[in-house]
Amino acid sequence: TDPERIRNFCIIAHIDHGKSTLADRMLQLTGVVEARQMRAQYLDRMDIERERGITIKAQNVRLPWQVTTDGVSTDYVMHLIDTPGHVDFTYEVSRALEACEGAVLLVDAAQGIEAQTLANLYLAMDKDLTIIPVLNKIDLPAADPDRYAAEIAHIIGCDPDDILRVSGKTGAGVTELLDEIVKLIPAPVGDADGPTRAMIFDSVYDTYRGVVTYVRVVDGRLEPRVKVEMMSTGSTHECLEVGIVSPEPKASKGLGVGEVGYLITGVKDVRQSKVGDTITTARNGATDALTGYREPRPMVYSGLYPVDGSDYPDLRDALEKLQLNDAALTWEPETSVALGFGFRCGFLGLLHMEITRERLEREFDLDLISTAPNVVYRLVGEDGADMTVTNPSDWPDGKAQAIFEPIVKTTVIAPSEFVGTIMELCQSRRGELGGMDYLSETRVELRYTMPMAEIIFDFFDALKSRTRGYASLDYEEAGEQESALVKVDILLQGEAVDAFSAIVHKDGAFAYGNKMTLKLKELIPRQQFEVPIQAAVGSKIIARENIRAIRKDVLAKCYGGDISRKRKLLEKQKEGKKRMKTIGRVEVPQEAFVAALSSD
């Protein structure tokens, strides 16, 4: 296809602002999917995506469109590149944006712009994409397009009257939007005769075909039966098939400058085909890769354990399978006194962690316990040596010269009436106000710098509940800062229970210790002897509870000589013991660990 006739764009939108519905409508209007084949949210392929209503993996689709000006019709090809909307996947978003010349900024006309949308908008503006602002859901009675048009105009500096108004649901305005995309978004530019360079913006594992790599060709051409090279690793692969998606994959003779499509090389593991990497030909290939490639780096770590220890091999299998489709997921075996055999897993963020756990439980039918998540710490030891800690149990006993923790820049957007309560919350999480802007008279944007550890637990939930669900949040990494952090251990009868150890700021140590000892007192059944539960920082005890002793004599109830009843009771007690873990002399039912580790 002549690059002049190609338009590549993505849709930037907040969750639920109607991106999938609009994409569906575009598929239909361009004739790519017939009305009767249409199923809701055609592009969201993963079941979990559909249920949670979020887009996890970028998908892309080719749309033909004819524009008539002055009685002359011209055929165009548009590529819609779908971007994930959640903060954890910012890197994937940035790569998807890199594959486009323009972006549709889609905003719910009853909600206004949200923090993540704003963050992605800035990302797109940074990359000089042409922005087409659009208000969606104008069919809603609650829609207030005039108000939100003013807000958007204020942010991107355009005329409020130039903002398109559409409804993905009824289809109103969508034809005009497609025309505008052709008119406003520039055609891709590249060197058709130069060495091939194509950017990977997504790769997905397919059971039958192996890894399917989605690419945007920047220079040259990608053709089947040619050997290609992944420039970040230098590894070469036979290119078995290239093609386009419209909406199902279809093999083609090749992809030229500006074209978006897929490539299959027969590799089985997405880590061989990394998002952001540049593909070139093995012979006469490019010498300079496209810029911006980054290795996926886990930001949040947590232990994952099977509730039933005999599921351990199944969990390993499942993790291996998931990793084929998720280059950002890392794991290694670990053992815990309390929880047995499991894995230490690294994730991009909290949502990534939740989704992974949910997929493991659902797709692989596993029951799992996860330990409290933690971020990655950097310590400078007394001898001046640098060490990285991703697991509280690796925290050194000795004194450290300095401890660093990762920090993030957060943006919160909310109705202005909540400014006070949001500030209070951010300050209680060690946040530092960076700035505040009114987007309109009634909505405000607050910027804080905060330790990442304070965000990853329940910050978003706390924010939502304090603002009745009206606040939205975005964050990005912003380096590290030195902090007074300590490890709090929880001891049962003097014995540390590894799964409960946590790294916290020293001002929060007492609160954590208190919370955990109280919780465990409730959860652990009384034993034949008294059991102290203590929280400690190093050798210093900071909180203590006691579980009083009982004499547990189940047979006492069975007066009379009913021997079979006695036997039954004894067997039942034995059954119960199997699911007990012994910490020192204390027997703790597995459920107590599960309950203590589940967030409240």
Indicate the annotated binding residues for GTP.
Answer: 16-21, 136-139
- Residues of span 129-188 touching ligand GTP by CB under 6 A: 136-137, 139-140, 167-169
The least distance separating ligand GTP from the CB of residue 377, rounded to whole angstroms, comes to 33
Question: Is residue 55 close enough to count as binding ligand GTP by CB under 6 A?
Answer: yes
Burial of 312 (0-12, 13-18, 19+ CB in 10 A): middle
Question: Is residue 15 close enough to count as binding ligand GTP by CB under 6 A?
Answer: yes
- Residue tagged 């039942």 (tokens): 572
The least distance separating ligand GTP from the CB of residue 147, rounded to whole angstroms, comes to 17
Looking at the DSSP assignment, which residues form a beta bridge with residue 411?
447, 474
For the four alpha carbons of 574, 580, 586 and 592, in that order, the dihedral sign comes to: negative
Question: Is residue 21 close enough to count as binding ligand GTP by CB under 6 A?
Answer: yes
- Residue tagged 């939205």 (tokens): 472
What is the Cα–Cα distance from 519 to 166, expressed in whole angstroms?
52
Q: ∠ at Cα 100 (97, 105), nearest 5°?
A: 65
The least distance separating ligand GTP from the CB of residue 201, rounded to whole angstroms, comes to 17
Chain-centre distance for alpha carbon 413: 20
Q: Which stretch binds ligand GTP (CB under 6 A): 49-57, 144-152, 236-244, 258-266?
A: 49-57
The site map against ligand GTP for 230-249 (x = CB under 6 A) is --------------------
Looking at the DSSP assignment, which residues form a beta bridge with residue 225?
none
Q: DSSP H helical segments within 30-65, as ranges?
A: 47-52
The least distance separating ligand GTP from the CB of residue 117, rounded to whole angstroms, comes to 10
Q: How many residues bind ligand GTP (CB under 6 A)?
A: 21
Q: Which stretch binds ligand GTP (CB under 6 A): 13-21, 187-195, 364-372, 548-556?
A: 13-21
Residue with smaller CB distance to ligand GTP, 13 or 369: 13
Residue with smaller CB distance to ligand GTP, 39 or 551: 39
Residue with smaller CB distance to ligand GTP, 44 or 545: 44
Residue with smaller CB distance to ligand GTP, 54 or 260: 54
Task: Provide the 3-class DSSP secondary structure of residue 517.
Answer: helix
Is residue 228 within a helix (H) or strand (E), and if so which, with residue range? strand 227-230
Q: What is the DSSP letter of 555?
A: G
The least distance separating ligand GTP from the CB of residue 40, rounded to whole angstroms, comes to 8
Specify the amino acid at residue 305: Y
Written as six digits, the tokens of 227 are: 């050997």
- Residue tagged 């978006």 (tokens): 260
Q: DSSP H helical segments within 258-303, as ranges?
A: none
What is the Cα–Cα distance from 227 to 223, expressed in whole angstroms?
9
What is the Cα–Cα distance from 485 to 377, expressed in whole angstroms?
10
Residue with smaller CB distance to ligand GTP, 83 or 391: 83
Q: Which residues contact 486 (CB under 8 A, 6 or more apart)?
A: 503, 504, 505, 506, 509, 537, 538
Q: Which stretch binds ligand GTP (CB under 6 A): 12-20, 250-258, 315-323, 339-347?
A: 12-20
Q: Which stretch binds ligand GTP (CB under 6 A): 16-24, 93-101, 234-242, 426-434?
A: 16-24
Contact 19, 55 (CB under 8 A): yes
The least distance separating ligand GTP from the CB of residue 18, rounded to whole angstroms, comes to 3
For the four alpha carbons of 37, 38, 42 and 47, in that order, the dihedral sign comes to: negative
Residue of the chain from 10, 12, 13, 338 that contacts ligand GTP (CB under 6 A): 13
Contact 44, 50 (CB under 8 A): yes
What is the Cα–Cα distance from 155 to 169, expressed in whole angstroms?
26
Contact 40, 47 (CB under 8 A): no
CA-based R_g, the chain, Å: 28
Residue of the chain from 7, 10, 17, 239 that contacts ligand GTP (CB under 6 A): 17
Q: Which stretch binds ligand GTP (CB under 6 A): 19-27, 370-378, 441-449, 556-564?
A: 19-27
The least distance separating ligand GTP from the CB of residue 348, rounded to whole angstroms, comes to 17
Residue with smaller CB distance to ligand GTP, 143 or 222: 143
Question: Is residue 323 close enough to count as binding ligand GTP by CB under 6 A?
Answer: no
Residue with smaller CB distance to ligand GTP, 139 or 308: 139
What is the Cα–Cα distance from 68 to 66, expressed in whole angstroms?
7
Question: Is residue 501 close enough to count as binding ligand GTP by CB under 6 A?
Answer: no
- Name the residue among 57, 119, 123, 125 with its Cα closest to residue 94: 123
The site map against ligand GTP for 77-116 (x = CB under 6 A) is --------x-------------------------------
Q: Which stretch binds ligand GTP (CB under 6 A): 17-25, 249-257, 309-317, 528-536?
A: 17-25
Cα distances (angstroms) measured from residue 538 to each of 138, 393, 487, 500, 521: 60, 13, 7, 14, 22
Which segments are annotated as binding site?
16-21, 136-139
Residue with smaller CB distance to ligand GTP, 20 or 374: 20
Residue with smaller CB distance to ligand GTP, 145 or 392: 145
Residue of the chain from 7, 19, 443, 487 that contacts ligand GTP (CB under 6 A): 19
Contact 76, 101 (CB under 8 A): no
Task: Provide the 3-class DSSP secondary structure of residue 486.
Answer: strand
Question: How many residues in the chain?
Answer: 600
Residue with smaller CB distance to ligand GTP, 9 or 512: 9
For residues 116, 117, 120 and 121, what is the CA-based torsion angle, rounded to 10 degrees?
A: -150
Residue of the chain from 31, 53, 186, 194 that contacts ligand GTP (CB under 6 A): 53
Residue with smaller CB distance to ligand GTP, 139 or 223: 139
- Name the residue among 222, 258, 75 with its Cα closest to residue 230: 222
Residue with smaller CB distance to ligand GTP, 18 or 276: 18
Residue with smaller CB distance to ligand GTP, 168 or 342: 168
The least distance separating ligand GTP from the CB of residue 138, rounded to whole angstroms, comes to 7
The least distance separating ligand GTP from the CB of residue 23, rounded to whole angstroms, comes to 7
The least distance separating ligand GTP from the CB of residue 443, rounded to whole angstroms, comes to 20
* Contacting positions for ligand GTP (CB under 6 A): 13, 15-21, 41, 44, 53-55, 85, 136-137, 139-140, 167-169
